[in-house]
Amino acid sequence: MMRQGLAKLSGALCLIALAQPIHAERLSLSFLPPDLPPSNVCDAEPEVREDDELQDADIEVVPPGDVVLEDEERVRFIIRDIETLSAENAAEWSGYIEALIDWRAEIDPGFTDIDASFARAELLIKAGRRDLLKARGTIAALAEQSGELSNTQKVTLARYLRAGLGIEKKPALADALLVEAGFEGSSGALLALLRRAMVGDPVEGWDLGLEETATLAFGGVVGQMNRGLCGRAERMAREYLNGDILEPNEELAYAWRVFAADMGGARAAWRVVEHHLNGTAPRSDDATLLHYLTLAVAGGVEVSPSDAASLLDSGATTKAELRKVLARSTEVGSGGSRHSAARYLELQVNPIVDGFAAESDLSRYLEEAIAIPGAPGSFHRRLAQEVLVRQGQWAGEARARALLEEAVQRGDVEAKMHLADLQSRYRDDPRALGEAEQLLLDAVTRDAHAPAMRALDHFYRCRLPDAPHLSEAEFWSSQYRASGAAAVSVSPSDVAKMHARLEPDAVAKLQSFALRDHAASKANLLQILQSDPLASVEVLRYWAGRVASSDSALEEFVDQEFELASTVGERERAVSLFRRAYMDVGQSISLDLAVTLVEHAGRDPETAKEVRGLLERSARRGEGAAIRLLQRLTDADPQVIYETYATVIERRGDFLGLMFAAPHVSDDVFADYMDRAVSVMNCGTKDVSELADAYAARGMTDEAGRWLQVGLALEGGNVLSKLGLTDRQGELFDTGLPQFVVSGDDAFSQLRAEYLGVSDPLNSAFDASAAAGQLVQHLQGAEPEVRRWALTQVAVADVRVRRAVSASIDLVEVFEKAAEEGDVRAQYELGMYLRHEAEAPQDLTTSADWLLKAAEAGRADAMAEYGFALGFGLGIQRDVKLALIWLQKAQGLGNQRARELARMLRALDVE
């Protein structure tokens, strides 16, 4: 019976496997798609899908409107929130996640009782509650029902049995289930068998060879000829681009996407177009590109809101029409000196919906979700944000405030930040301002949320009616800088010149923030990587995927591409990329595209028409910059433009929208608009100048003068006083980092310069012994400042230098002296040094004591390491709950290691 299943699988599709020598880590096998005539398989009505088919979900994009929320949409949101909450903190939200699983079981006819049992089991495993899972007997019950399980469920159950999750380990039964599912043709089982064989751990009872198993596995991926075929073909393409089993092969990835497009996949057709635009097609020609572009548009892909219909009418037969739609003016790879990672950006094409419906599917779902007992505060906050988007920043304020207040009661720290912004609008109400202040203070002191420190700085510096309060502002500004939570702020030209050796701290911080999904950091890191000739294709493709998955990161990246273009060819390609990003992201970047097009080809009549349409779309969103630019470009009467957009400014106007309205409204409205503007302003020179100008234009000189005073109190001073010395190199000057050679007249400065000259391992003058001698001399000095500087060098020095220093003096004694003097860094370094060099249990106890002192002083990495010591009982009594509290505090201050340690503790169920 099982052999018959294999025979059936092998004959399902004419899948050609050309075996090549096997790579040490991946298989070098060439799987070609079936040679079938074009058809509309993927466009057909949905069919019942085999549960073991590995495929992408078909998500239909529906413009928002006043329609009833269907169960299919509810299920989609439920699945996403289960995944999100489980990833964030499965232990904390396990009760609510189970309620979501129950909800799905009620409304999803395809979600059986067995499916729900597997979902609950996975939840308890992620939550670290294996004891509860075992007590419930869930896995044992599923094992008894193995005859009723689908092949996919057998593979999952085999994983539980082999690892002993919720049951005693049963490796023999686990392997038997894998083999059974494999002989039935399950692609998941076959891939699991293949991976086991590739690492030298073959499953007993599976006697097929590696290549035959691979052939069957990927044949199973392709599966049957039904509507899901194109999604599965896309999986094959991705496997050839960045998979973990097959050697990368862009030509085969392209072939699979062509196959999916020929089978009726509109998005696959667009992917083929992307290959041609990016220069990754085996042979790039306009005829092929036009053919698949036409298929994509005919299948519903909206290449452009205005040009799709004309493209279809014309048949898209000329290069000129292609350029009109996609602005492809030059061939990729010519006309420029920069190597761009843009070729690895796989962008979507989504409908551009103008305006906002009063409600959305998401808002309807969230209304129902918050009615379930135990809903996280983040759900109320998300609904509040949706209300503000749909109804407008100001029209939806009352409803959003009520939701945010409930979210704050449920402990959502982001809700505190949003609610504080709403409260700070009422600048003539001391009670409202006091509540805003307390919300921000709570976010810092109770939640260790570092961005709240920056918000407090701005609150005292700009938002209070009698601002600036410089003592408070400077205190919170210094605390925020010390927390290390601020991302690296760089311009495109900065990014283009950054080098890891010259600015290791900035590059490392960029990467850390990029790994935490900070949008601008992801874009900046990709720019740095694509400038590195040694960066691998895998690395570029990985980070391109991370950038493409974020609207904000993609917007930042395409902005940088245009800014950094140094030739006509690069500029044309940057504009083309910006247009494609607009198709992906939608109307939220229409203003940025308009500005780019004005700079690129503003004199061209067709471009000018397009720019006006983009600006009008942004203006209808209440974006003041678009309204202002539209007025200037058209030279229209400002009063007429204001009257056109007065209603939208009243409902949702942003800072510049309110500034544009300021000269055209009554005194009472003006006062209200200024309060609104202050609550959403950036505490920077530009916004402060806008406010001063607005008051001055109405003859309110006292208020105008006060805002000028605020401008002089901004961090770093007035723009004119900066003298261009605000970059990171200037800020780090004379701080002892190895890349700076500091000169001076005194003996200490001379010795320090000598040390910096011999301590850099990349310098030909590097001498570990000489560098160590310099450090020892400083460490034995009498001045605390000198010792602190030397201790910093020990912490960051090359390992050879540290060893030489350790051989000369007792570093523990030196660290202890500095730590006892209150040097927080020395306390942390001493704690870590004692841990690494521990020879007795007392060393670990002392290590934990010093880490606690540094943690209590506010050092994030010390909080993380003390939490680690608590969680695993390193020198102190194990206390997982307290460990998680310290790790949460460190995480709130931006420490990435704390997040990973917390996940490890929960996963290992250390109690």
Domain ranges of the chain: 71-222, 361-483, 487-585, 598-679, 684-725, 744-908
Query: Using alpha carbons only, what angle is made at residue 755 by residues 775 and 851, rounded to the nearest 5 degrees?
Result: 40
Position 563 scores a pLDDT of 82
What does the pLDDT look like over 286-309, one tens digit per residue?
677 778 877 877 776 655 534 444
Instruction: Report the distance separating Cα 323 and Cα 607, nearest Å.
Output: 12
**Strand, coil or helix: what is 642?**
helix
Q: What percent of the chain has pLDDT over 70?
A: 79
Q: Report whether CATH 1.25.40.10 matches the domain 744-908.
A: yes
Nearest to 435 by CA among 444, 426, 445: 426
pLDDT of residue 109 exceeding 50, the answer is: yes
- Element housing 22 (H / E): none
pTM over 0.75: no
Position 307 scores a pLDDT of 43
Nearest to 541 by CA among 195, 240, 222: 240
Instruction: Report the distance separating Cα 342 and Cα 353, nearest Å.
Output: 26
Amino acid (1-letter code) at residue 317 = T
Instruction: Report the distance separating Cα 872 and Cα 891, nearest Å.
Output: 18
Amino acid (1-letter code) at residue 703 = E
Position 417 scores a pLDDT of 95
Instruction: Report the distance separating Cα 449 and Cα 428, nearest Å.
Output: 28
Query: Using alpha carbons only, what angle is made at residue 254 by residues 252 and 259, rounded to the nearest 5 degrees?
Result: 95
Angle at which helix 397-409 crosses helix 413-423, to 10 degrees, equals 140
Chain center to CA of 254: 27
Topology agreement, domain 361-483 and domain 744-908? yes
Lowest mean pLDDT among 440-449, 459-468, 558-567, 902-911: 902-911
Looking at residues 200-208, what average pLDDT do you find? 81
Looking at residues 256-264, what average pLDDT do you find? 86
Looking at residues 590-600, what average pLDDT do you find? 83
Position 518 scores a pLDDT of 85
Residue scoring higher pLDDT (227 or 674): 674
pLDDT of residue 53 exceeding 50, the answer is: no
Which residues are bridge partners to 19 per DSSP?
29
pLDDT of residue 64 exceeding 70, the answer is: no
pLDDT of residue 58 exceeding 70, the answer is: no
Average pLDDT of the chain, as a whole number: 78
499-524 burial by CB neighbour count: b if 16+ within 10 A, else e? eeeebeebbebbbbbbeeebbbbbbb
Q: Within 13 Å, how many C-alpha atoms sit on residue 345's CB side?
A: 29
Residue 60 burial (CB < 10 Å; 0-12/13-18/19+)? Answer: exposed
Position 895 scores a pLDDT of 72
Position 894 scores a pLDDT of 66
Q: Report whether CATH 1.20.120 matches the domain 361-483.
A: no
- Element housing 17 (H / E): strand 16-19
Q: What percent of the chain has pLDDT over 90?
A: 20
Position 223 scores a pLDDT of 61
